[in-house]
Chain A
């Protein structure tokens, strides 16, 4: 028995050493990337940050750093792609908002698909609050609702009833919005044009008719995906195929 305990403790120790070593290696890579960025070596910074991203680190600050490095490297397409990815993870970060707005001023195409102003007014909470906040509000309201219902059942206080109706309505609204956000994230995909200029064509081949031209950093909606091509929608009336390598899915 004693031997078993010693073996398990030893293995745990070795495991902790291994994870510690891995963590410190990642930290070193991050620091190397930051140093390269500070020295103006943007390609090296991109390489370091992308290594971490490919290694499975999925964090908003890392996406932000990649966006910065690509922007400094004059690669607006990739910069916008990583800023968009960062916005999904840290939507309220002020630095990210500032840099994203700045990068937007460098894009050549007008913003394509835009939400109707009426929808933005009617469903203002969806557009003003980020999905994570909406989720937590829905959960909080839901908890308050059921606790109030329990109190009502035990204490039979009629005064509580109007408040509970209001809380129930708000809970329903925020829960439905949260579920819709999940649906939107899972089903509606967006992409960013990567090269300086891309021909959007009517078919899968390079000889297919060029329908219109998009420039780096333009955000489009992905309607369908094939092995090598994406069917993208820029605006309601502008839809066509681009190569997968020409558009990065957010």
Chain B
């Protein structure tokens, strides 16, 4: 006996005027029953949760059939009873898997509850043979459960005439041996005699071609072997970009076939009434298509190939042939036809040197038609004469490769004769800049590759020399070297810097002055000045101050401060006074006197220097 509960609002009570309503019992009950009702509800919840917890989870995988043909699909269901989990299909390497969603249900069977999750997949076999759906791991609450492996026999599709199949695909190109640059059309066709849905089309890679899909997909009905099919066409314009034998890989279409149920079900007679059908997924592939691309023959000498391949025409029109100097006329050159019209470059116009030309942007009108690109490209040039006269325009030529004839073809546009009369306006008023007469009109254009290849090998023996790259330690060392040099310079500077303290400077002066005094040639005044300077400098050097004069009393007190006894200080001070008095009295000094003074001064200086 099945009793299915939908658990909702259990134990939820609503009170109103002493009468109690519960969600599971909408009948009003007296208040005194409420206590018993709550106990019952709690007991039910505990019972249910215990039952759910006690039930161990199981997993199961089933397929709808074990025998399929290549391209057919089968359904796989992974059922998890007693919980939910993660299904890992990474082991199904022999099949392409498509998820079809999941369903869940909650059941109570004879007082036992269970939850069931079902995950649905469509499996498409990737090859024929005895394939196995391996044990699928399902992780439930951190524990891995495995399904039982299933064997599936996949047989090759028997060769059946296209008209006898329900659905099939084909692919073809409009020209199997085109010239390089010639546009061809690749047509993919889906023939279906039954209803199809959820079609997913994967076009080929088209290696070696420039490919563009024609936007409008055609659909029509046709009869094959007496059976009516709906044909859906997808077309691509292909332009081969390299020569040789090129293969267009198979195009793939994954499609769902809408069919009536295969297995009889109870009340199956009602299927047609209720529209009960099932969908099987199939993968259809076209055969590879081989295209042999021919290289263009060498162009005839003296011709300038425009790069156009196809069928083209050229026309030219000049809006005025009778002009005045300074008037403008427009030359329109139109290239039209089918092929790589978008690559058409401005044609060379041999403008007379007395004309100034101004080119306009080309006007394009290119359509994608059933057999490829077609349309026209118009190049307009404004021409302004700067000199009166009669001029002749040479024909404008276009050399293209005619794919029908298999040869280069040169077309000529119209020839013009233009009469230019003098302008009513003074020539100086015409605002036209005349180009250098000897220079040909500029026909510069962007240089494009006409062929692609790589540059040659490096044949020098340098290739055998391992390149030395600076390592990080070396870089750091080289970075640190100037810093070390800077530091070393600082050290050297400090070591070689002269001591320029006042004491040392004054001592130097004392020595210098004594040296000057020792010179025999010195005059008396110079001699005495030198002695005075020597004594004062020597005293001040000991004190460590700069200066140039001292009175005898200052000299005495400074010497006593330096630790000299009073007699010695007196003697030195008197010597200083004596030198000063000789200097200011201006009397002559004999040699003995000079020697005596020099000797005394030297002794004082030496004592102070000691």
**In the complex, residue of chain A having the shortest beta-carbon distance to the beta carbon of B459:** A34
Q: Does A135 contact B (CB under 8 A)?
A: yes
Residues of A contacting B463 in the complex (Cβ-Cβ under 8 angstroms): 30, 52, 57, 59, 61-62, 65
**In the complex, residue of chain B having the shortest beta-carbon distance to the beta carbon of A145:** B482
Assess the A89–B467 pair: CB atoms within 8 A: yes
A89-117 near B? 1/0 per residue, CB < 8 Å = 11000010011001101000000000000
Q: A56-B466, A59-B465, A139-B479 are in contact. Are A153 and B489 (CB under 8 A)?
A: yes
| B-contacting 9-mer, from A2-10, A120-128, A157-165, A206-214 | A206-214
Docked complex Cα distance between A213 and B173 (Å)? 29
Residues of B contacting A146 in the complex (Cβ-Cβ under 8 angstroms): 482-483, 485-486
Residues of A contacting B454 in the complex (Cβ-Cβ under 8 angstroms): 68, 71-72, 98-99, 102-103
Q: Does A138 contact B (CB under 8 A)?
A: yes
A131-175 near B? 1/0 per residue, CB < 8 Å = 010010011001101110110011000000000000000000001
Q: Does B5 contact A (CB under 8 A)?
A: no
Q: Of A27, A153, A179, which one neighbours B493 at CB under 8 angstroms?
A: A153
Q: Does A191 contact B (CB under 8 A)?
A: no
Q: Does A37 contact B (CB under 8 A)?
A: yes
Q: Does A26 contact B (CB under 8 A)?
A: yes
CB-CB contacts below 8 Å: B433-457 with A: 452-457
| A-contacting 9-mer, from B330-338, B470-478, B542-550 | B470-478
Q: Does B28 contact A (CB under 8 A)?
A: no
Residues of A contacting B431 in the complex (Cβ-Cβ under 8 angstroms): none
Residues of A contacting B455 in the complex (Cβ-Cβ under 8 angstroms): 68, 95, 98-99
Q: A57-B466, A61-B463, A98-B454 are in contact. Are A207 and B489 (CB under 8 A)?
A: no
Residue from A60, A175, A209 having most chain B Cβ neighbours under 10 A? A60
Nearest chain A CB to B207 CB, angstrom units = 9
Residues of B contacting A30 in the complex (Cβ-Cβ under 8 angstroms): 461, 463-464
Residues of B contacting A23 in the complex (Cβ-Cβ under 8 angstroms): 464
CB-CB contacts below 8 Å: B233-265 with A: none
Q: Does B458 contact A (CB under 8 A)?
A: yes
Docked complex Cα distance between A203 and B91 (Å)? 12
Residues of B contacting A64 in the complex (Cβ-Cβ under 8 angstroms): 457-458
Q: A65-B457, A132-B470 are in contact. Are A59 and B464 (CB under 8 A)?
A: yes
A65-90 near B? 1/0 per residue, CB < 8 Å = 10011011000000000000000011
Residues of B contacting A178 in the complex (Cβ-Cβ under 8 angstroms): 475
Residues of A contacting B460 in the complex (Cβ-Cβ under 8 angstroms): 61
Nearest chain A CB to B577 CB, angstrom units = 45
Q: Of B93, B459, B475, B490, which one neighbours A139 at CB under 8 angstroms?
A: B475
Docked complex Cα distance between A89 and B456 (Å)? 18
Q: Of A57, A61, A132, A175, which one neighbours B458 at CB under 8 angstroms?
A: A61
Residues of B contacting A65 in the complex (Cβ-Cβ under 8 angstroms): 457-458, 463
Nearest chain B CB to A188 CB, angstrom units = 15
Residues of A contacting B493 in the complex (Cβ-Cβ under 8 angstroms): 153-154
Nearest chain B CB to A4 CB, angstrom units = 34
**In the complex, residue of chain A having the shortest beta-carbon distance to the beta carbon of B134:** A207
CB-CB contacts below 8 Å: B477-513 with A: 478-479, 481-483, 485-486, 489-490, 493
Nearest chain A CB to B71 CB, angstrom units = 22
Residues of B contacting A206 in the complex (Cβ-Cβ under 8 angstroms): 93
Residues of B contacting A175 in the complex (Cβ-Cβ under 8 angstroms): 479
Nearest chain A CB to B474 CB, angstrom units = 10
Q: Does B462 contact A (CB under 8 A)?
A: yes
Q: Does B469 contact A (CB under 8 A)?
A: yes
Docked complex Cα distance between A209 and B466 (Å)? 43
Docked complex Cα distance between A157 and B163 (Å)? 100
Assess the A208–B466 pair: CB atoms within 8 A: no
Q: Does A182 contact B (CB under 8 A)?
A: yes
Assess the B470–A135 pair: CB atoms within 8 A: yes
Assess the A207–B93 pair: CB atoms within 8 A: yes
**In the complex, residue of chain A having the shortest beta-carbon distance to the beta carbon of B470:** A135
Assess the B467–A58 pair: CB atoms within 8 A: yes
Docked complex Cα distance between A132 and B469 (Å)? 8
**In the complex, residue of chain A having the shortest beta-carbon distance to the beta carbon of B474:** A135
Q: Does B90 contact A (CB under 8 A)?
A: yes
Q: A138-B479, A150-B485, A153-B489 are in contact. Are A37 and B466 (CB under 8 A)?
A: no
Residues of B contacting A132 in the complex (Cβ-Cβ under 8 angstroms): 469-470
**In the complex, residue of chain B having the shortest beta-carbon distance to the beta carbon of A86:** B458
Docked complex Cα distance between A182 and B458 (Å)? 28
Residues of B contacting A71 in the complex (Cβ-Cβ under 8 angstroms): 454
Q: A71-B454, A146-B483 are in contact. Are A153 and B490 (CB under 8 A)?
A: yes
**In the complex, residue of chain B having the shortest beta-carbon distance to the beta carbon of A71:** B454
Docked complex Cα distance between A69 and B469 (Å)? 25
Residue from B470, B482, B493 having most chain A Cβ neighbours under 10 A? B482
Nearest chain B CB to A145 CB, angstrom units = 7
Nearest chain B CB to A35 CB, angstrom units = 10
16 A–B contact pairs at CB < 8 A? A23-B464, A59-B467, A61-B462, A64-B457, A72-B454, A89-B467, A102-B454, A139-B479, A142-B479, A142-B482, A147-B482, A149-B486, A154-B493, A182-B472, A207-B93, A208-B90
Give B residues with C-beta under 8 Å from A: 90-91, 93, 452-467, 469-470, 472, 475, 478-479, 481-483, 485-486, 489-490, 493
Which 10 A/B pairs are nearest by Cβ-Cβ distance?
A: A146-B482, A61-B463, A61-B458, A99-B454, A95-B455, A146-B486, A58-B466, A62-B463, A209-B90, A182-B472
Seed contacts A52-B464, A147-B482; 4 additional CB < 8 Å A-B pairs: A68-B457, A95-B456, A138-B475, A175-B479
